[in-house]
Amino acid sequence: MSHPAPFERPVALSCGDPSGIGPEIAARAWEQLRASLPFVWIGDPAHLPRGTKIREISEPAEAMSHAGSALPVLPLEFAAAALPGQPDPANATGVIEAIRHGTDLAMRGEASALCTAPINKKALKDGAGFAFPGHTEYLAHLAGGARVVMMLACDTLRVVPATIHIALSEVPRAFTPALLRETVEITAAGLARDFGLENPRIAIAGLNPHAGEGGAMGHEEIDWIAPLIADLRAEGHAVSGPHPADTLFHAAARTRYDAAICAYHDQALIPIKTLAFDEGVNVTLGLPFVRTSPDHGTAYDIAGQGRANPASLIAALRMAARMRAARGL
């Protein structure tokens, strides 16, 4: 069976919250990528910045011949106008539909990958009863309940939080041997499939300060994290740890692993957002299609002011293309 080259089909970009910076960074990303990486924007054309050159299309394949001269748009009618900085729950259904449609296109192979612009979970919940903590969980649902992990990546660091959108007080109960094992297995498989790393090196952070310091600051590392790491090594995984999180992210330490798995959200996201706030990419590993997203939110405070930096979205689109190529599709 023959497979299409990376640029025979465009990347699908779902619009995200139209009251955030999604529409303007999409327009600016097109200006920079139109000659090299075709993508199609899924959303309401009226929400794009005034003056954006667009070409409405009916199927993604049309984007390949139009991306050089205009931003290809798969039009999706929304219920309300987009007021910068003022999320409208009336648009929640449209935002969700854009994600679903982009997912369908990626799963059918009509789009080479899916990239998603930032959403506002509260607006989606208020306006459409959105029952998922975020993009990652919704995409797993659309993919039939796929077991996935969220990875944040830039040129100098990849991090995976084992627990994601939960309160810090819930982490010690949610961070279990079964969850950590699953996270390691999905991460290792994803790094091999999507990044071409045959036997990826994975560093695992401890849950407690100083990785428990021999039991003085917590016993999880002694009781089960270190034994599980030993088991995973015996099974052939190139894992190390548990490492103190406060010494895991300096320059020399980062040369010793391909990805770091952390116990909770901020343990993973603070270092990568410090290192690459404008270039970080959110990747969902474990899906049957490639999905990336810029590693920032809706930025309502600067929406509509022409100040939004498209660098993270550009990095996400480029990474999606590289990941698809790594899959040999």
Q: Report whether 3 belongs to an annotated binding site.
A: no
Beta-carbon count within 10 A of 218 CB: 18
In sequence order, the 6+-apart residues with CB closer than 8 A to the CB of 235 are none
Q: What is the DSSP string of 126-142?
A: HHH---SSSHHHHHHHH
Q: At what angle do helices 311-326 and 22-33 cross, to 10 degrees?
A: 60
| Residue among 131, 219, 136, 207 nearest 168 (CA) | 207
Q: Report whether 282 belongs to an annotated binding site.
A: yes
CB 321 within 8 A of CB 113: yes
Q: Report whether 291 belongs to an annotated binding site.
A: yes
CB 102 within 8 A of CB 10: no
Q: Report CA Rg, the chain.
A: 20
Q: Give the DSSP letter of residue 304.
A: T
Q: Report whether 53 belongs to an annotated binding site.
A: no
Q: Report whether 233 belongs to an annotated binding site.
A: no
Q: Report whether 208 belongs to an annotated binding site.
A: no
Structure tokens at 99: 């994600």
Q: What residue numbers does the annotated binding site cover?
A: 135-136, 165, 210, 265, 273, 282, 291
Q: What residue numbers does the annotated binding site for a divalent metal cation cover?
A: 165, 210, 265
Q: What residue numbers does the annotated binding site for substrate cover?
A: 135-136, 273, 282, 291
